Amino acid sequence: MNVPGAIIWKGGRLQLLDQRLLPGDVRYLNISSLEEAIDAIRTLAVRGAPAIGMAAAFALVVAMGRQEHQTGGAFQDRLAELAERLRQARPTAVNLAWAVDRVCARAAADPCLQAIREEAEAIHAEDRLICRAIGEQGRHLITPRCTVLTHCNAGALAVSELGTATAPLYLNHADGVPFRVFADETRPLLQGARLTAWELAAAGMDVILICDNMAATFMARGEIDLVLVGTDRVTANGDVVNKIGTLNLAVLCHHYGVPFYVACPSSTFDPDTACGDDVPIEERDPAEVLGTAAARVPARNPAFDVTPADLVTGIITEHGVAHPPLADSLAELLSEPRLPFS
Ligand code: MRU
């Protein structure tokens, strides 16, 4: 990759790239306690659904390493306590709970530090392969000279290596396919401007930054062929929860007849939640929105929105692409236990 990795795990030490400082400053945070990990997740030093899941899994290993003498029931009880605190750090992305649950399930079978360390490392290692598989499943969508619009950052900084929504872009770029990417700047925290534009430009892609409110104009002019975004949670009916502003794009795509695709690992699918209305949407500090506003007026800051399943053309997973009706297609695609990534 051409940008530094979001998560470094070496010799039992966890380092997280501080994404709040990007692209100006490349600095890593040393995470040596659960509190530091929770703070990094809450403040978006580490962000993106799969990345916060992986960071949380490693954070459990770091925190449990402090009581290495514990085994058996005491180990499980302490782990469950720490896991619950991590789950609360950010409520919307299901990958956080998924990764923490997976570490706890491993400890239920084998309650010791070595076992949970292996599990966290397995989650991390699988993630690279899953991103590549998503890229393979979605690469046909990128046709020569097409223009793709993406929102927020579902790239290497949010996952590992190829990212999710960016994986088909990376694979086509490596093959020399010519295409352009429009990156929404993604107010209020500018993940598109600071992270996606930086990451794709560093890879040598033809990337053009636009303000969020310009997407309609470029679609009306016929300049966008495809919208491709990541997601924090896909519910049983196929509703897609992603960065605030994604719904705007899906509505525009419907109006202008532009395909709207979503890419995610199967760990982002939440079959236990019926629909998007049931997903807790993180509401962040209004100060993030107020920014340079001259007047101290109230502001609202929901960090995610829900795109109804009927606005989604397809969902690209590592196991294949789900098409409408999404509820049936996802259930079929993700029902069987599959192990090609372990
Ligand atoms: O608030 P963020 O920056 O964590 O939001 C990230 C997104 O919305 C991404 O699109 C999503 O997590 C998918 S990352 C592969």
Closest protein CA for atom 8 of ligand 1: 243
Angle separating helix axes 72-87 and 49-65, nearest 10 degrees = 140
186 φ/ψ angles, rounded to the nearest 5 degrees = 70, 75
Structure confidence at residue 15 as a pLDDT band (50, 70, 90): very high
Compute the distance from residue 65 Cα to the ligand 1 centre, in Å. 29
Please tell me the CATH code under which domain 139-334 is placed: 3.40.50.10470
Structure confidence at residue 136 as a pLDDT band (50, 70, 90): very high
User: What stretches of the chain show up as alpha helix (H) in DSSP?
Assistant: 34-42, 49-65, 72-87, 94-109, 113-138, 167-174, 191, 197-202, 215-220, 246-256, 287-290, 326-335
In short, whether 41's Cβ falls inside 6 Å of ligand 1 is: no
Residue 264 has pLDDT above 90, yes or no: yes
In short, whether 268's Cβ falls inside 6 Å of ligand 1 is: no
Compute the distance from residue 57 Cα to the ligand 1 centre, in Å. 18
Q: Where is average pLDDT lowest: 12-16, 76-80, 310-314, 336-340?
A: 336-340
- 99 in Cβ contact with 116 (< 8 Å): no
Which candidate, 297, 202, 197, 288, places its Cα nearest to that of 244? Answer: 288
Active site residues: 232
- Predicted TM-score (pTM) of this structure: 0.96
- What pLDDT score was predicted for residue 320? 96
What number is the average pLDDT over the span 48-74? Answer: 91
Structure confidence at residue 118 as a pLDDT band (50, 70, 90): very high
Compute the distance from residue 280 Cα to the ligand 1 centre, in Å. 15
Residue 339 has pLDDT above 70, yes or no: no
What number is the average pLDDT over the span 73-78? Answer: 94
Residue 97 has pLDDT above 60, yes or no: yes
- What pLDDT score was predicted for residue 174? 98
Compute the distance from residue 93 Cα to the ligand 1 centre, in Å. 8
Name the architecture of domain 7-131.
Up-down Bundle (1.20)
Mutate to test the pocket of ligand 1, among 160, 243, 248 (most ligand atoms within 8 A of CB): 243
Closest protein CA for atom 10 of ligand 1: 230
pLDDT digits (tens, 9 = 90+) for 199-242: 999 999 999 999 999 999 999 999 999 999 999 999 999 999 99
Domain ranges in the chain?
7-131, 139-334
Burial class (CB in 10 A: 0-12, 13-18, 19+), 4: middle
In short, whether 164's Cβ falls inside 6 Å of ligand 1 is: yes
